[in-house]
Amino acid sequence: MIAPLPVRTRLIGGEGLPTYRTRHAANNLTTVADVERYVEEQSGQRLSKSSRHAEVLQAWRELGSLHQRAFTEPQVVSGNWVIDRDLCERCVPPYEGAHGRLPWVGWVCLKHKRWIKDDEQTDLCRFGEALVAERHWRGRLTPRRVVVDSPLLLLAEESATVGISKAVLEERAERVASPSPGLLVYPETVRIARLLSRPSFLDAILSDAPSLWKRALVEREVKAILPDAEDAEMWRALARVWDFVLSLQDVVRDARWLGQVPEDRWNVLRYWSGFAEFERVEVVQTHPLV
């Protein structure tokens, strides 16, 4: 066991070791190099230079009197890569930046009502739609293990950006200090991501129903999110969502022909009820007696 440093440093939710150990060492008027040199002298073993090494992580847990769950946020969630990102500036003490992995959170800190995606974090007190979208994210997308910057979210954001009304964007831009494209379309981005990962929607587009019926369904759903106003190009968003549908249909068709488990780059087929038939195939193929 390593004796903790005298001054405690609060670990921010999701924070990684690189910023925590820098903050913790500074709060104790020392440096990371000096602390790790002291640990090496006490243990008689050299520490790895990697901040992800198990011994390094455990050493800093003990130095900070932290729980064993500290620094254990997953790197991959259901095939989606969890990125390292800046944490909310209000959650961190002044002049102490922090970053880490937040697989359960979108691009909004609900506690401080701030947009945390861009270099300049923005107050959202006058943009309540983004706060509502974040609550929907955590209520719907988080249980579906959808994370920021995943292919599904990038598709949803692109569709929202090309299909939203320009007047809506201008009105929203006046309500935030530092508007950015991702922020202004965040409500629609979350709604499209919810649609594309909704089990009932996937069941419908991957059913044996006629193609014209599926197209009408997709058009109705997209119009409900992005109304076809005079200054909007909803058809561009519709085209992207329809390409998504066609791609999933091709993936499922090819998997059936080859007798393999389908792999879609959006990681949404696991919510489709028909995916169970492929899971049985995978069990048979991997059984040790087969």
In which band, very low, low, confident or very high, does the pLDDT at 281 lie, cut at 50, 70 and 90?
low
Element (H, E) at 245: helix 234-258
Overall pTM surpassing 0.85 (yes/no): yes
Q: Is 114 helix (H, G, I), strand (E, B) or coil?
A: strand
Is residue 284 scored above 80 in pLDDT?
no
Whether the predicted pLDDT of 264 surpasses 60: yes
- At 259 the pLDDT is 87
**Rounded average pLDDT over 78-103:** 92
Give the contacts of 141 (CB within 8 A, at least 6 positions apart): 106, 190, 193, 194, 197
Percent of the chain exceeding pLDDT 70 equals 96
State residue 290's pLDDT score.
39
Q: Is the pLDDT of residue 109 over 90?
A: yes
Evaluate whether 223 touches 191 at the Cβ level (below 8 Å).
no
- pLDDT score at 279: 67
Could you tell me how many residues make up the chain? 290
Looking at residue 95, what is its pLDDT? 82
- Write down the mean pLDDT value for the chain: 92
Calculate helix-pair angle for 234-258, 211-225, nearest 10 degrees.
140
| Separation between Cα atoms, residue 269 and residue 82, nearest integer Å | 19
Q: Write the pLDDT tens digit of every residue in 56-69.
A: 999 999 999 999 99
Q: Given this model, what pLDDT does residue 255 score? A: 92
What pLDDT is attached to residue 208?
94
Quick check: 160 and 188 in contact, CB under 8 A?
yes
Query: What confidence tens digit (pLDDT) does each residue in 211-261 have?
Result: 999 999 999 999 999 998 899 999 999 999 999 999 999 999 999 999 889
Across 30-41, average pLDDT = 94
Segment 172-199, tens digit of pLDDT: 999 999 999 999 999 999 999 999 999 9
Average pLDDT over residues 261-277: 90
Choose between 275 and 131: higher pLDDT. Answer: 131
3-state secondary structure of 225: helix
- Quick one: pLDDT band at residue 45, thresholds 50, 70, 90? confident
Q: For residues 251 and 245, what is the distance between their CA atoms, to the nearest angstrom?
A: 10
DSSP letters spanning 119-178: SS-EE-TT-HHHHHHHHHIIIIITTTT--TTSHHHHHHHHHHHHHS-HHHHHHHHTTSSS
- The rounded Cα 134 to chain-centroid distance in angstroms is 12
DSSP assignment letter at 15: B
Mean pLDDT of 250-279: 90
Give all strands (DSSP E) within the chain, no chain letters. Answer: 76-77, 80-81, 85-86, 99-100, 108-109, 114-115, 122-123
Band (pLDDT 50/70/90 cuts) for residue 280 is low
User: Does residue 289 have a pLDDT over 60?
Assistant: no
